[in-house]
């Protein structure tokens, strides 16, 4: 099984995002583990979230060890009216990372879902807190079709269902690089 442990990810990073890296097997939510004083680009990743959530308080469910579940700390020094734009910035980066690793080209369903063939494969949640924004990102990676949530508004899929199998560490490295690049571009205007 692919690993998201620090030693499997950090040596492969190509930018500064993720240099401060925490991996836990299970947590209610990665957002709860991201310290308010952590630097920009700090990342928390979990093998499982027991109380993960999306927009409007919706639950994000995934069997342990199957998904990419992470939170990234940002400290943008911009007018607070621009902060909602970060959801789209992160969604684009997520879509680019999925395409680079799998060849799939997800579409963004406003404001924060990524779809493949009309089915949800990923979601982004940006929350402003004090002087920071915490980006929560969940991607259905290696979930069998039988284990995908059925009682949901939008049908779900996974990269496994769509392509066979995906290495979560490779996807995370790609996601962090693309997110850092898009974030820098967004900051510059």
Q: Structure pTM?
A: 0.93
Give phi and psi for 164, each to the nearest 5: 120, -75
- Percent of the chain surpassing pLDDT 70: 94
* CA max distance for the chain: 45
Q: What is the pLDDT of residue 53?
A: 58
Is 174 or 55 the better-scoring residue by pLDDT? 174
Burial 6-16 (b: 16+ CB within 10 A, else e): eebbbeebeee
Which residues, 6 or more positions from 184, have their beta carbon under 8 angstroms from its beta carbon? none
CA distance 160 to 139: 11
- Domain 6-187: give its CATH architecture: 2-Layer Sandwich (3.30)
pLDDT one-digit tens code per residue, 129-146: 889 999 999 999 999 999
Burial 170-184 (b: 16+ CB within 10 A, else e): bbbbbbbbbbbebbe
Domain residue ranges in the chain: 6-187
Give phi and psi for 130, each to the nearest 5: 45, -115
pLDDT one-digit tens code per residue, 55-100: 545 566 667 899 999 999 999 999 999 999 999 999 999 999 999 9
């Amino acid at each position: 099984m692919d690993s998201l442990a620090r030693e499997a990810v950090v040596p492969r990073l190509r930018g500064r995002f993720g240099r401060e890296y925490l991996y836990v097997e299970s947590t209610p939510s990665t957002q709860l583990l991201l310290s308010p004083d952590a630097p920009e680009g700090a990342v928390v990743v979990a093998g499982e979230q027991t109380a993960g959530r999306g927009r409007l308080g919706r639950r994000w469910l995934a069997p342990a060890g199957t998904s990419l579940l992470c939170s990234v700390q940002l400290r943008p020094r911009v007018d607070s009216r621009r902060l909602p734009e970060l959801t789209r910035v992160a969604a684009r980066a997520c879509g680019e990372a999925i395409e680079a690793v799998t060849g799939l080209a997800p579409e963004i369903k406003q404001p924060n879902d990524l779809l493949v063939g009309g089915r949800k494969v990923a979601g982004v949640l940006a929350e402003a807190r004090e002087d920071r924004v915490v980006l929560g990102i969940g991607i259905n990676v290696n979930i069998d079709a039988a284990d995908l949530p059925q009682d949901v508004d939008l049908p779900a899929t996974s990269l496994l269902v769509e392509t066979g199998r995906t290495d979560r560490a490779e996807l995370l490295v790609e996601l962090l690089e693309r997110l850092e690049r898009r974030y820098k571009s967004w900051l510059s205007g």
